[in-house]
Structure 1
């Protein structure tokens, strides 16, 4: 009997697992661009693989189907967006209004700077399946918890549903904004969004 062994030796300085991780990263990056540019339903696996510079066999190495890739791309896009928002919050200092303004500016600026990610986050994830709907809802809840923690003060707790309502409202504002061609200005959007959280921020 002849045994066929799979080599795990490094190739070009990368192990087999590292190469697989890199291929997965390339597929996710390609999906963020393709799904956001031309739509999830209009983007077959072949198109994503072509964007990533990989053959289809490598797609199935990491994902069972295109919906799994959609969820992975959505998660990656959200992580990038939240990272920018939290960094802006830290840089703004302790004043809650200034911090909120900075986070909103980071949010809307990121959406405008990267229309593909904006469409993926706000449009393409909706209506695909129950799993996608659950991912969208859980993302809103997670961001609401994060924002609630950032803006809570000693002796004050931000109600989960109130935080969720504010975050959900701002998400709808952003959706309408991109559908209107990124009009009105970001400054105007920030002012409108701050009104949603005025009670939260102690703004009259």
Structure 2
């Protein structure tokens, strides 16, 4: 069905669709801030709307409920995080081990530099509902694939074909992050990366 002329009308240089997309981004940024400060379970739609500077009417224009917003904000965090990791891998010199070390360094730097996003990624996403758990599982699978591809000489993920082993390594990398964050980032970054690197090298049989 063709869109209506009203839907396509531009306001101050922006179409209705562009303004809706902008409001959605405002809600995502606000959710990451509010969930990072208060926790998802303590946050309300009203609190997110206030942080976004928008009304609840606009909230329900983009999201059916808070759970849907949590998934969307989590996915936004993951897109940013994977973008940082891919960039670090592409810019790293040396072989697979050096690329993996650069990737892990970028991972922990991103968590340290964006503590609110880190809380959404590591804490608030867990155990909310089956739908949210599914989003988490998909991201963990993607993370495991990225680690395996980075450590593979051919970049094809052949460093570990065992999905259980990949899952164990990803879980270890994340638990290192949780321990580091809970300590107030007390250990130097290179020590944290070194610990995670030893876990990842299991995928190469070392």
Q: How does 1:34-113 map to 2 (within 5 A)?
A: 34-113=34-113
Which SS does the other structure have where 1:41 is aligned? helix
Match of 2:21 in 1: 21
Mapped pair 1:126 → 2:129: no
Superposed CA deviations along residues 37-93 of structure 1, whole A, max 9, x for unmatched, are: 111111100111111110110000010000000000000001101110110011113
CA distance in 2, matches of 1:169, 1:17: 42
Which SS does the other structure have where 1:197 is aligned? helix
Extract unaligned runs of 5+ from structure 1: none
Q: How does 1:139-154 map to 2 (within 5 A)?
A: 139-154=139-154
Q: Could you say if the C-alpha distance between residues 96 and 202 of structure 1 is closer, same or farther in structure 2, counting changes exceeding 3 Å? A: farther
Match of 2:169 in 1: 166
- Following superposition, the deviation at residue 7 of structure 1 comes to 5.5
Q: Could you say if the C-alpha distance between residues 82 and 7 of structure 1 is closer, same or farther in structure 2, counting changes exceeding 3 Å? A: closer
- Following superposition, the deviation at residue 128 of structure 1 comes to 1.1
Q: When the two structures are superposed, what TM-score results if normalisation uses the length of structure 2?
A: 0.90
Extract unaligned runs of 5+ from structure 2: none
Instruction: Give the count of matched residue pairs.
Output: 199
Contact 1:96 1:201 in 2 (8 A): no
Contact 1:97 1:201 in 2 (8 A): no
Contact 2:148 2:203 in 1 (8 A): no
CA distance in 1, matches of 2:157, 2:146: 15
Mapped pair 1:179 → 2:195: no
What is the CA RMSD across the aligned residues, in angstroms?
Answer: 1.8
Which SS does the other structure have where 2:54 is aligned? coil
Match of 1:188 in 2: 191
CA distance in 2, matches of 1:191, 1:201: 16
Match of 1:115 in 2: 115
Contact 2:32 2:73 in 1 (8 A): yes
